[in-house]
Amino acid sequence: MSLTLEAAANTAKVLSEALPYIQKFVGKTVVVKFGGNAMVGEELKSSFARDIVLMKVVGINPVVVHGGGPQIGELLDQLKIESRFVDGMRVTDSKTMDVVEMVLGATVNKDIVNLINQHGGKAVGVTGKDGMLIQASKMQVARNTPEMEAPEIIDIGHVGEVKQVNTEIIDMLTASHFIPVIAPIGVDEKGASYNINADLVAGRIAEVLKAEKLILLTNVAGLQDKNGDVLTGLTTAEVDALIDDGTIHGGMLPKIGCALDAVNAGVSSAHIIDGRVAHAVLLEIFTDQGVGTLISNQKN
């Protein structure tokens, strides 16, 4: 077999393998959190945009939620505004919130929209403030030590939690064959803006949309056991056990907590996948192997 025929045969094999997955997920909603390394390299950004467009073309409804922490940090540095963190969360005063809105709601959001559109999609960018999409409340951070009689409440400014999601805008865009691209900025009943963790926003949106899948792009290969091997198909009970025995710890805990909450709320499966791999989203959805960790309530 010539190289040309071999390449064609491999392409046909890949398409054939993808067919049952396409048939299974037509008409379903998939919420994808775009962040980490996948947002940095031009090749990875381009492959992500093509993945999202292909999903829409074959009849799946992708909803993109994006982060932008490094970009926010870069602009704060340029403006000589100090970045401070408490338990991994950026302390967000009024000046910092202005920068967050500028970066997430304008620069990053519009860059992603433009990229998807350049690859043949029809993306529309919104923030959680548009149409009261993400109604937020101020996040309370408490620290407690054995010496303290009561927990210390730390004010980290305009950092919020998702109180409620109004899906009207998302439903309207999806029904009109647009791809929603959402910046994780919320608003409270008084009109104050809040910076919200993008994983948390993606998880809550997946819950209220009753999404088929929640996909969280990260900078690691997936959940790993104590030997460093990637764990693939896990039930929520197995994930709980891995948290209890300390296998899952540190910075991965909030992401896993978000995935567990979504699955327990009715999302069919949550995926922690390696955003450093080109076309990671397509590989996870449309191939037998995938490129990360799948969490569901289904027993293997």
Mean pLDDT on 239-268: 86
10 Å CB burial of residue 35 (0-12, 13-18, 19+) is: buried
Instruction: Give yes or no for residue 207 having a pLDDT over 70.
Output: yes
Look over the chain and give the mean of its residue pLDDT values, rounded to a whole number: 88
Residue 127 has phi, psi (to 5 degrees) of: -110, 170
Mean pLDDT on 223-246: 82
In the chain, what percentage of residues exceed pLDDT 90?
A: 58
Q: In this predicted structure, which of 52-61, 79-88, 132-141, 208-217 has the lowest mean pLDDT?
A: 79-88
pLDDT of residue 145: 59
CB atoms near residue 19 (< 10 Å): 11
Residue 31 has phi, psi (to 5 degrees) of: -95, 125
Instruction: Give yes or no for residue 152 having a pLDDT over 70.
Output: no
Cα separation of 201 and 134, whole Å?
8
The angle, 0 to 180 degrees and rounded to 10, between the axes of the packed helices 198-208 and 252-264 is: 10
pTM of the model: 0.91
Collapsing DSSP to helix, strand or coil, 87 comes out as coil
Instruction: Give yes or no for residue 40 having a pLDDT over 80.
Output: no
pLDDT of residue 300: 47
The domains found in the chain, sorted by start residue, are: 26-296 (3.40.1160.10)
